[in-house]
Structure 1
Amino acid sequence: MKLSRGLPAVPFVLFNIFLDILGIGLIIPVLPKLVGTLVENAQAQAWWLGAMLIAYGFMQFALAPTLGSLSDKWGRRPILLLGVLGLGVMFFVPAFSDSLTVILLSRVLGGMFSANIAVAQAYIADVTPKEQRAAAFGKIGACFGVGFILGPAAGGLIGEYSIRLPFILAGTLAILNFFYGLFILPESLRIKNPNAVTFARCNPISSLLELGKFKQIGALLVVIALSSFVQSLLHSTWSLFTTFRFHWSPMDIGLSLVAIGTVTGIIQGKFIKSLLAFFGPKRLILFGLLSGAAAYLGFGLITVGALAYLIIVLNFLSMAVTPTLNGIVSEEVPSADQGRALGAVSALGSLMGVLAPLLGTPLLVHTSHMAPGSVLGGLPYIICSGLLLLAALIASLHFRSHPRA
Structure 2
Amino acid sequence: MNRNFWIIALIAFINSLSFTILIPIIYLYGKRFGLSDFQTSLLFSIYSIAQFFATPVIGKLSDRFGRKPLLIISLAGTVIANLLAGTATTAIVLFLARFLDGITGGNASVAQAMISDVTSPENRAQGFGIFGAGLSLGFVLGPATSLLAQQISLGAAFLVSSTVALVALLITIFFVPEPLQTRAEKAHNIFDLGLGNLIRGLFMPKVGVLLIINFFIGTTFTIFTYAFQPYFLNVLGQNNRSLTTMFLLFGVLGAIMQTWGVSILKRKFSVVNILFLALFIRSLSFVLMPVLPIVIYFVAVSILFSLFNSLVQPAINTLISLNAKPQDQGTAMGLNASYLSIANGVGPVIAGMLIHQSNPQTYGYPLYLAGILTFLVLFLAIFTRQRYIPKVV
State the TM-score bracket (shorter-chain normalisation).
Answer: over 0.9
The separation in 2 between residues aligned to 1:381 and 1:390, in whole angstroms, is 14
TM-score (norm 2): 0.93
How far, CA to CA, are the matches of 1:217 and 1:94 in structure 2?
37
Q: Which runs of 5+ in 1 are unaligned?
A: none
Matches within 5 A, 1:305-324: 305-315=295-305, 316-324=307-315
- Change beyond 3 A, Cα 1:213–1:257: same
- 2:375 corresponds to 1:386: no
State how far apart, in whole Å, the 2-side matches of 1:198 and 1:66 are.
12
| Structure 2 Cα separation of the partners of residues 179 and 317 of structure 1 | 34
Residue 91 of structure 2 corresponds to residue 96 of structure 1 = no
In structure 1, how many angstroms separate the alpha carbons of the residues matched to 2:299 and 2:54?
A: 36
Residue of structure 2 aligned with 1:73, choices 44, 54, 64: 64
Aligned counterparts of 2:53 and 2:32: Cα–Cα separation in 1: 30
Q: Single out whichever of 225-234 and 331-340 deviates more from structure 2.
A: 225-234
Contact 1:222 1:391 in 2 (8 A): no
Q: Are residue 192 (structure 1) and residue 183 (structure 2) matched? A: yes
Deviation at 1:104, TM superposition (A): 0.7
Range that drifts further, 13-22 or 106-115: 13-22
For 1:211 and 1:97, how far apart are their aligned partners in 2? 38
Alignment of 1:332 onto 2:323 = yes
Superposed, 1:111-150 pairs within 5 Å as 111-150=102-141
1:163 and 2:163 matched: no
> Which structure 2 residues correspond to residues 347-386 of structure 1 after superposition, within 5 A?
347-365=338-356, 368-370=357-359, 374=361, 377-386=363-372
Q: How much does 1:63 deviate? A: 0.7
Stretch moving more, 275-284 or 144-153: 275-284
Aligned mate of 2:194, from 202, 205, 216: 202
Q: Paired residue for 1:12, among 7, 10, 30?
A: 7
Q: CA deviation at 1:195?
A: 3.3
For residues 181-238 of structure 1, what are the alpha-carbon distances to aligned partners after superposition, in whole Å with 9 as ceiling and x for unaligned? 21111000111111317655511xx424433334434433332122111221222222
The alignment status of 1:267 with 2:262, answered yes or no, reads: no
1:156 is aligned with what amino acid?
Answer: L
Shift of 1:264: 1.5
Counterpart in 1 of 2:220? 230
After superposition, what is the alpha-carbon deviation per residue over 1:22-60, rounded to whole angstroms, capped at 9, x for unaligned?
Answer: 112222223333222221xxxx34233211100111111
CA distance in 2, matches of 1:303, 1:341: 41
Contact 1:219–1:394 (Cα < 8 Å) also in 2: no
Displacement of 1:300 in angstroms is 2.6
Tell me if the contact between 1:207 and 1:341 (Cα under 8 Å) persists in the aligned partners: no
Q: Is the 8 A contact 1:300 1:380 kept in 2?
A: no
Q: Is the 8 A contact 1:64 1:118 kept in 2?
A: yes
Superimposed CA distance per residue, residues 146-165 of structure 1 (whole angstroms, 9 cap, x where no aligned partner): 11111111212320232222
In the alignment, the residues of structure 1 paired with residue 206 and residue 92 of structure 2 have an alpha-carbon distance, to the nearest angstrom, of: 45
Checking the alignment, whether the CA contact within 8 Å between 1:68 and 1:116 is kept in structure 2 is no
Q: Which runs of 5+ in 2 are unaligned?
A: none
How far apart are the structure 2 equivalents of 1:186 and 1:108? 29
- TM-superposed deviation, 1:93: 1.0
For residues 254-290 of structure 1, what are the alpha-carbon distances to aligned partners after superposition, in whole Å with 9 as ceiling and x for unaligned? Answer: 1112212222211113321221222211211111111
Report the Cα distance in structure 1 between the residues aligned to 2:85 and 2:177, rounded to whole angstroms. Answer: 32
More off after superposition, 182-191 vs 257-266: 257-266
In structure 2, the partner of 1:106 is 97
Q: Does the CA-based 8 Å contact 2:289-2:302 persist in structure 1?
A: no
**1:301 equivalent in alignment to 2:305:** no
Distance 2:390 2:172 in 1: 38
Contact 2:74–2:107 under 8 Å retained in 1: yes
AA at the equivalent of 2:238? W
Alpha-carbon offset, residue 83 of structure 1: 1.1
- 2:259, 2:274 → 1: CA distance? 16
Tell me the equivalent position of 1:35.
Answer: 30
Task: State the AA in 2 paired with 1:202.
Answer: G
Q: Is the 8 A contact 2:26 2:43 kept in 1?
A: no
Residues 323-359 of structure 1, C-alpha deviations (whole Å, 9 max, x = no match): 1111111111111111011100111111100111111
**Structure 1: which 4+ aligned runs deviate by more than 6 Å?**
none
Aligned-pair distance for 1:369?
3.1
| Deviation of 1:13 (Å) | 1.8
Structure 2 distance, partners of 1:265, 1:402, is: 27
Letter in 1 for 2:296: A
Structure 2 residue aligned with 1:49: 40
CA pair 22-402 structure 1, distance change in 2 beyond 3 A: closer
Which one-letter code corresponds to 1:146 in the other structure? L
Shift in alpha-carbon separation, 1:218–1:63, aligned structure 2, 3 A = closer
Residues of 2 paired with 1:102 and 1:400: CA distance? 49
The one of 12, 16, 19 equivalent to 1:24 is: 19
Is 1:177 the counterpart of 2:172? The answer is no
TM-score, scaled to structure 1: 0.90
Cα distance in 2 for residues equivalent to 1:12 and 1:291: 32
